[in-house]
Structure 1
C-alpha cells in the first residue's frame, strides 16, 4: 500500500510529455494574455473607427439621396436620423451583450456551433435566406426543451418546479417529433365548385384495353447497378457518345455506373401489345431525382395501361443524368435528356427494321409521342424542337439528323428554366398536354404555363393544346417511385401533405387524360376532344377535387390576346375597340407567378364591387360586318380564358351579353356552363416563414378556358355589334381575362 504524501517518480517519457503540454498551455495562455492586453489598449480606438465608418457612409447616402428638395435638405433627411440611430443603438444593445457575457461559455459555444452547422447542412438543399428562420426555430426548440430537462437533472428532482420543467422539456421534444411526423394541416380549404358532369358517350380511356402485352428491356450492357439493363437485357443496344453536350461528369459518377459520358447507355423498359399490326410509339422519361433511387420504374402503371390500349410504351432510363449528394449534378443535362430521347427513337427505328426482332415492322414511326415528368417534361419539349433542327443551337458544329414524326408532347409538372441560344424553348405545330398539381412542392410555380403559351400553330393544321391544373395533386405521385416526397429528407419533414390527393387518385387523373389525349392525337379519335376543351366532360372518371383547364387549337381566331400594345382600347384584331364602365380597376398587365416571376403572358385585370347601382361592364365593340368578314357563323364558339385573383375565395359567375346593331340583346350566365373557380390558396409548408421564403405567395392565378357556342344566344351573329362581360352575379370580384376569340364549331 502506498504511503501518504510519498513522492513517486514518473517515467522519463511521461515527464517529457507532461512538460511539453505544460509549455503549450503556457504559450497559449501567454498569447491570450497578449490579445487581451492589446484589446484593452485598442478597444476605444476600434470602436471609434467603426462609428466613424458608419457616419461616413450615412453621409454618403445623404449626399446621394436627390429628393429634389436641395442638397442640404437631402443630407439632413438621412444624416440626422442616422446619427441618432448610431448614438442610441449601442445603449439598446448593451444590456443584451451583458446578458450574453454572463452566460456559460460552453453553452454559447455549443449553441453557436450547432446553429452554424445546422445552417451549413440545410444550405446543401436550400438557399440560406430560405432556411435561416427554420434553423433558428429548430435550435430554439432544442434550447428550450434541453434547458428544461437540464434544470430538472441538476435540481432536486422531486420538487414541483423541477418536475414542471421536466414536463415542459418532454412536451417540447414530443411535440416537435409529432409535428415533424404529422402530415400537416388544411390551412386553406377551397370552396367547392359545383360542376355537373357533361354527357360524354365514349369509353373511359383509363380502362384496360383489349390487348394482352408483354414486358421486356433493352440496354447497352454496362450498367453496374441493374442487371435487367446489363447481362439480363432482352436486347443489347450500342452506347452513345454525349461528350459534346454533357458537362460536369466526374470519376465518382463513372465508378458508380460503370461508364462515362462517352458511352451513355440506351436503356429502356418496353410494354408492347401482342397481336398483328403497327402500334404508335410513346416514350416516357422521368425527371431529376437522386440518381441512386431509380426513377424510370415509376411509370409502369402508364406503360401497362397504354400497351393494353394498343401503344408501344417505353420508360427510358436516364437516372445516370440525375443529381447525387456525393457526385454532384451535371451541366447542360436538359439538352442531354432531350438528345437521348431522340437517340432512343434512332434505336426503335433499328428495332423496327431488324428482321428476327419481335419489334420488326411493329412500330408505327409516323405516330410518335414524347412524355416527360419534371425536368423530363421540359426535355420532351426540347427533344421535339431538336427533332426539327439541323444544328445544335448551343454548338453549331454539331449536326442533328432526326426528323421523326413526333405528333404529341405530354409534360407532367415540367420545369421551364432551360434556354436554347439564350432564347426560351417555343414549340410549334405539335399537340400538347400539360398536367400540374396545385400542391407541387418541387416545381412549385406553374411554370409549364409558359411552355403552353409559347406553343404556336400554323393555320392549316389540326393541332390542339390543353392543360389541366389539379387541386391537391403534388409533384411526386405521378411517379410511383417518388410518391408524396416532393423533396428529400430533412426538408421533406416540413412539407404539408395533409391536403394531398391519394396517390391512386392522382394517377387515375394521369391515366385518364394521357390515354385520352393519345387516342385523340395519335389514333384520330376526335370524340375525346371535348374532355380537353372542358374538363366537366371527364368528371365521371375523375376523383372529386377542383380542376382548371385551358384549351386552344390551330383554328382559333384571336379577337384579343393583349400582346399587341399598351392601348387599353385596341386589340389584336382591327375593327374591335374595348371599353369599361363602373369598374374599380381596369388595366392590362403581365401574369405573375407565386414568386412574382413574369409568366410571359399578358391579359387584362378587371375589378368590380357593388358601389354602383348598376353592374360593371367590360365591352367589345365591333365594326360593321366584322363577323361576316371574319367568316364567323352561328356554328362557331365564343371563347375566352379567365383566372380568379387572390381575393376571390368563392367560385364566381357573370353574364355574357350580345347586342345587335338594332339593339336586340341576348345573354347567358357563365355559370350555366362552368363557373370560374375560386383563387386556390396553397400552404406547401408546415411553417409560415419557410412557406414565404421558399414558395412565395399562397396564391397563383390559373387560367380557365370558357366556351359558349354562338347558337345559344339566338341572334344573327353577323348583326352583332357589341359583346359585354357584365359583372352582375357576384357582388365583388377581381379577375384576369385573356385569350378572347372564336373557335371553329365544325370540328
Structure 2
C-alpha cells in the first residue's frame, strides 16, 4: 500500500512540476488562437454599422466574457483549494459514476443520481450536526430532522404518486347508437388450437425448441445491416445464430381440427424492445379472440431484430417487413402441401397484417414490398412476392425509420387502420396519422381507412408482455394517473381490430359503422377518449384544403368557400406534438358572438348527385385551450373541456338560411391536454402537451325529409356551418365531402 502511495505522490509531483514550469506558454498560445478566432468571427459578423463596429463588438464581447469567466473560475478554484482533498475527490468520483451510468441507462438515472448525491450529503451532514450539538440539542434535531424528512418525502412522493387524472371520461354509455350487430370483441364459437412453429433449435425458449412444425432458416443479409464488433459477438453468443440463418418462429392460435376452413390469415409482429425480454407472447389476447372468431392468428418472433444492451441492427424495419413476407411464403407452402396437416386450412386470398411500434411501420413496408419486383434500396435483390394482403393495422406505428427508395410509403387500394394512445411516452408523436394520410383509393376499390386516437392509452399496454412504455426509473415519473387500465386499453384494441378485420376480410360491411361513427361502440367501450377518422372509397371530396393557398377555392372545381363574421379564418398545416407536420392541411375557424358562419357553395354537377342516401362527411375538432388564449378568444362559458355545438345546414335554392328545418346540431369534440410525465419541465422536451386529432362527423341528408317531405335534393346548393350556439369558439375543419351510406351484410 505504501509503495502505491509513493508512486501516486511521485506521479502527482511530476505532473504539477511540469505544469508549473510551462503554464505561461500554454496561456500565450491559447490567447493568440482565441484572438485569431475573434477576428475571424468579426469578419463574418455583419450588422450594417460598419466593419469597425463589427470587429469592436466581437472583440469587446469576447474580452468581457473571458474576463468574467476567468474571475468566476479563479474564485471557485480558490474555494475548492481550501476544501479537503478527499471531499473534492469523492464528489468528483460520484459525479463520474453518475455520468457513466446515465450515459448507459438514460438521463433519468443521471438526474436521480445528482438528486440523491445532494440528498445523501445533506442527510449525513444533518446526522453529524445533531450528534455534535452541545446546546439546544432538541431544537437542532427537530429543525434538521424536519427538513431531512421533508426532502425525502418529496423525493419519494415524486416516485410513488400516480400524477394527475385526465379530463376525459372512461364511463361506458351502456346504450349503442346502432345495436343491430354483436360486439366484435365478443369471444367467438370456435374452440382454439394453439401451437408454435420454428427452427426447433432455439437456445433461449422451449416453445421454439419443441415446435409442432419445423421451418427452415432464412438469410436476411440483403435486408439488414449486420452488426459489428462487440454487438455482433454478443448477439451471436446470446442467440446462437447470426442473421444469415434467421429462424421463422411463430405462435399460432387457430380454430381446432373440428372446425371447417379455410380461415383468413392474420400475422402480428411486435416492436422494438430489449431483445432479452421477449415480446412475441404479448398479443395472445388478440390471437385467442381472432382464433375463436374463425381466423388463423400468428404472432411472429422477431426478438433477434430488437435492440440490446450491446447495440442495434441497421435497417431493422426493412428486415421486419421482409420477415412478414417470408412467413406468408411459409404458410402458402403448408396450405398447398397435400401431405401437411395445414393443407387447405388457410384462405390465402384474405390476409391481414398487424404491427406494433416498429412493427406497425413494418406492415406498411411489407405491403409495398409485396407489390415490388426488386428492392429499391438495392435493386440487385429480387422480391418475388404477390400475396393477397387486404388489411393493415398499425398499433402506435413508427414512420420513416426505413424508406424504400428514400421515399415515404404511399399505399393504394388497401384497407388501413392505425391506433395511437395520447399518453404514449415511447412514440410521443402520432406518426401513424401520416401513413393514414398517404393511403389512397381508386374509384373501383371497395375499402376504407381509419385512424383512432385514444386519450389515456399508452405504448406498452398494446403488448401484455410490456405493460409499461419505459422501464423504471422512467415509469416512476410518468403521469400514471392519466393512463387507463391495461385491460381496458386492450379491450378497446380488441374491438377495433376485430371489427376492422371482420369488415375487410370477412365482408361484414356493417362493422364499418364502428369506424365512421364512434357512438356505434358506446355500449361496449368508453368513447369520450376516442378521436376517430374514417374515409372510404365512396367519399367525394369537396374541400380538403390541399390544392392551393387560395382560401376561397375548393378541391371540387367551380365551388366556392366563404367566411362571414369570423375572428379567425386561415388554412394551416396540422402538426404533431413536437410540431412536425401531420401531412394534412385544414381550415382554422374562430368566432366571437353568434353570427359567424362558413359556407360551402356547391357546383351544379355535385348538386345533381344528391339524394336521401347521401351523407355529408367532414372532420373537425376544437383547438386546445392554449390556442384560444393565443387568438384572444374565450372558451365558451360552461364548455371547458367539453364539446361545443354548431349548426350544420344544407340549404336548397330559394330557402332562407334561418329556416330551422334545414339545420341539425353537431357537437365538436375538445382537444384534451395529455401530461406524459409528472413534471412540466420534462414534458417540454416533447413539445406541446396536446395533439390536434380530428374527428369524423357524418350528417345523413335524409334528416331533411323529416320536416320537408317534398324536398328536392338536387336543389341543394350550399352547406353552411353556422356558429350560432355559443358566444365564441375555435375549431379545425377538414375533408368536407359527400359519401354513400354504409351497406349492411345480407
TM-score by length of 1: 0.88
Change (3 A) 1:474 1:86: same
Counterparts in 2 of 1:480 and 1:726: CA distance versus 1, 3 Å: same
Which residue does the alignment assign to 1:237?
Answer: 215
> Is the aligned partner of 1:299 residue 2:263?
no
Please give the per-residue CA displacement for 1:209-254, whole angstroms capped at 9, x wherever unaligned. Answer: 1111211111112211112212x10111111111111213312211
In structure 2, distance between residues paired with 1:23 and 1:132: 34
User: CA deviation digits over 1:286-318, x for unaligned, max 9?
Assistant: 111111111111111111111111111111111
Which residue of 633, 648, 661 maps to 1:656?
Answer: 648
* 1:533-557, Cα deviation, whole Å (9 max, x unpaired): 0111001111465111000001111
After TM superposition, the structure 1 stretch with the greater mean CA deviation from structure 2, 102-111 or 470-479, is 102-111
8 Å contact 1:520–1:526 — kept in the other structure?
yes
2:717 pairs with 1:721:
yes
Which residue matches 2:613? 635
* TM-score in terms of structure 2 length: 0.88
Cα distance in structure 1, aligned partners of 2:104 and 2:11: 39
**Deviation of 1:182 (Å):** 3.2
Tell me the residue number matched to 2:261. Answer: 277
In structure 2, the partner of 1:616 is 596
Q: Deviations over 1:136-169 (max 9, x none)?
A: 5554444444543454456569453245324433
Q: Confirm or deny that 1:579 pairs with 2:562.
A: yes
1:115 maps to which of 75, 92, 95: 95
Question: Can you list the C-alpha shifts for 1:290-348, whole angstroms capped at 9, x where unaligned?
Answer: 111111111111111111111111111111111111x3110111111111111111111
Answer yes or no: is the 8 Å Cα contact 2:521–2:527 preserved in 1. no
Q: Which residue of structure 2 lines up, in the alignment, with residue 185 of structure 1? A: 164
Aligned counterpart for 2:299 among listed residues 296, 305, 315: 315
Q: 1:199-210 counterparts in 2 under 5 A?
A: 199-210=178-189
In structure 1, distance between residues paired with 2:643 and 2:171: 6
* Cα distance, 1:262–1:607 mapped onto 2, change above 3 Å: same
Distance 2:563 2:80 in 1: 63
Pairs aligned (count): 714
Matches within 5 A, 1:21-170: 22=6, 25-26=9-10, 28-36=12-20, 38-39=22-23, 52=35, 56=39, 59-60=42-43, 63-66=45-48, 99-100=79-80, 102-124=82-104, 126=106, 137=115, 139-152=117-130, 158-170=137-149
Structure 2: 5+ residue stretches without partners: 629-640
| Structure 2 counterpart of 1:706 | 697
Matched, 1:601 2:587: no
SS in 1 for 2:683: helix
Note closer, same or farther for the CA distance 1:47–1:496 as it changes in structure 2 (3 Å cut). same
> Corresponding residue for 1:256?
238
Question: 2:515 aligned with 1:532, yes or no?
Answer: yes
Report the Cα distance in structure 2 between the residues aligned to 1:20 and 1:702, rounded to whole angstroms.
66
Matched position secondary structure for 1:589:
strand
Q: Is the 8 A contact 1:590 1:602 kept in 2?
A: yes
Q: Is the CA contact (8 Å cut-off) linking 1:352 and 1:362 kept in structure 2?
A: yes
Q: For the structure 1 residues 559 and 400, does the alpha-carbon distance in structure 2 shift closer, same or farther, using more than 3 Å as the test? A: same
Query: 1:731 maps to which residue?
Result: 727
RMSD of the TM alignment (CA)?
3.1
Q: C-alpha separation between the residues in 2 aligned to 1:505 and 1:258?
A: 39
Deviation at 1:119, TM superposition (A): 3.6
Say whether the 8 Å CA contact 1:374–1:413 is kept in structure 2: yes
Map 1:368-517; keep pairs closer than 5 Å.
368-418=351-401, 419-483=403-467, 485-517=468-500
688, 693, 715: which one aligns with 1:697: 688
Shift of 1:730: 3.1
Distance 2:164 2:199 in 1: 47
Which position in structure 1 is the counterpart of 2:202?
Answer: 223
| DSSP-derived class of the 1:587 partner | strand
CA deviation after TM superposition for structure 1 residue 510, in Å: 1.0
**In 2, distance between residues paired with 1:409 and 1:403?**
15
**Alpha-carbon deviation of 1:33?**
4.0
- The CA deviation at 1:558 is 0.9
**Rounded Cα–Cα distance in structure 2 between residues aligned with 1:213 and 1:500:** 32
Counterpart-to-counterpart distance in 2, 1:150 and 1:547 = 56
Aligned mates of 2:736, 2:671 — CA distance in 1 = 21
Structure 1 residue 199 displacement after superposition:
2.6
- Is the 1:472–1:545 contact (alpha carbons within 8 Å) kept by the matching residues of 2? no
In 2, distance between residues paired with 1:717 and 1:133?
A: 65
Q: Is the 8 A contact 1:58 1:82 kept in 2?
A: no
Give the superposition deviation at 1:376. 0.8
Q: 1:332 to 1:655 in 2, by over 3 A?
A: same
In structure 2, relative to structure 1, the CA distance for the partners of 1:543 and 1:558 (3 Å cut) is closer
Select between 661-670 and 411-420 the one with higher mean Cα deviation: 661-670
The residue aligned with 2:634 is none
Q: Which runs of 5+ in 1 are unaligned?
A: 1-16
2:638 is matched with: none
Farther-moved stretch of structure 1 (517-526 vs 640-649): 640-649
